[in-house]
Amino acid sequence: MRTVYVNGDYLPESEATVSIFDRGFLMADAVYEVTSVLDGRLIDFDGHMARLERSLAELEMNKPAAFDELLGIHRDLVRRNGVTEGLVYLQVTRGSAGERDFVFPDPETVAPTLVLFTQAKPGLADNPAARRGIKVISIPDIRWARRDIKTTQLLYPSMGKMMARRAGADDAWMVEEGHVTEGTSNNAYIVRGKRIITRELSSDILHGITRAAVLRLAREAQMEVEERAFTIAEAQAADEAFITSASTFVMPVVEIDGATLGDGTPGPVARRLRDIYLEESRKAAI
Ligand code: PLP
């Protein structure tokens, strides 16, 4: 049985509880981060904690613990659960005032809830899907307008994954005003010639931590990067496409709404970026 963390305690997962009045449960009044683990070490940890701080600040929520303490909890959970490859999930909610009320409770008297758990994922780096590439469909983006805040309001992304699955695909790219915003749980890219194209940062998309690292590494490798929106038609006519996220790293896309890209296998740019990202992030892991 897994050991999980709840508000200061390490507990067996079956004994870990949160109040039914917790605002994370009642209102999705919560933010989260997912940090991947390779070789038993944390990937892009500083980036995830910086984004957590920003999400909390945007929602006027108190930070539940200092950076060093959060690092310690991540490391303890990885060690206690013997995770060599997998994820650490962290969630902070606005806590429980012991009642249901739309008005935020006083942060001086109601402490945030902090929960962390690990998910072991052997084969996360050597993922067969990365050798095959994935298929995506497009769906309308009907999420709220603050997608730059990493909240637990994940019903629509979850529905999007189900729509993809029912259509025989792996994931969905969301489209707003004719342009792709992002994937249900990842950032979206296309490649034209040697140029990598991905939507620019704004409140329309989550500012992916993997995105930031991959674009930095691409520029360091003298690849061209263009940050702008693209349409599904442009993506279908592209040489390559891929997604990035903490749990998939760089994952090639080989089909978009039934149209095959290139020869239907992962392209050289996506494969190279995946290799570079895995190599560099393993080196920098803590
Ligand atoms: N976009 C959305 C909507 C996501 O949910 C995620 C990850 O969960 C990402 C992008 C990728 O972000 P990151 O690279 O930080 O995992």
pLDDT value at residue 236: 98
Cα distance between residue 192 and residue 230, in whole Å: 11
Give which of 78, 79, 52 is closest to 66, Cα–Cα.
Answer: 52
pLDDT value at residue 222: 95
Q: What is the pTM of this model?
A: 0.97
Cα distance between residue 283 and residue 286, in whole Å: 9
211 pocket-lining for ligand 1 (C-beta < 6 Å): yes
Ligand 1: residue whose CA is nearest its atom 5: 185
Interacting residues of 50 by C-beta distance below 8 A, sequence separation 6+: none
What is the 3-class SS of 105-149, one letter each residue?
A: CCCCCCCCEEEEEEEECCCCCCCHHHHHCEEEEEEECCCCCCCCC
Stretch (H or E) spanning 29: none
182 pocket-lining for ligand 1 (C-beta < 6 Å): yes
Ligand 1: residue whose CA is nearest its atom 4: 185
Ligand 1: residue whose CA is nearest its atom 12: 208
Cα distance between residue 183 and residue 217, in whole Å: 21
Å from CA of 108 to ligand 1 middle = 31
User: Is there a contact between 136 and 41 (Cβ–Cβ < 8 Å)?
Assistant: no
Q: Cα-atom radius of gyration of the chain, to the nearest Å? A: 19
Cα distance between residue 32 and residue 93, in whole Å: 9
Cα distance between residue 164 and residue 135, in whole Å: 9
pLDDT in tens, the chain (286 residues): 999 999 999 999 999 999 999 999 999 999 999 999 999 999 999 999 999 999 999 999 999 999 999 999 999 999 999 999 999 999 999 999 999 999 999 999 999 999 999 999 999 999 999 999 999 999 999 999 999 999 999 999 999 999 999 999 999 999 999 999 999 999 999 999 989 999 999 999 999 999 999 999 999 999 999 999 999 999 999 999 999 999 999 999 999 999 999 999 999 999 999 999 999 999 999 9
Name the token pair of 1.
């049985």
pLDDT value at residue 131: 97
pLDDT value at residue 69: 97
The DSSP secondary-structure symbol of 98 reads: S
135 catalytic? Reply is no
For 90-140, write each residue's pLDDT tens digit. 999 999 999 999 999 999 999 999 999 999 999 999 999 999 999 999 999
Give which of 83, 103, 69 is closest to 40, Cα–Cα.
Answer: 83
Cα distance between residue 234 and residue 243, in whole Å: 16
Residue with tokens 């190279």: 272
Å from CA of 99 to ligand 1 middle = 32
Q: Of residues 150, 161, 194, 283, which has the active-site annotation?
A: 150
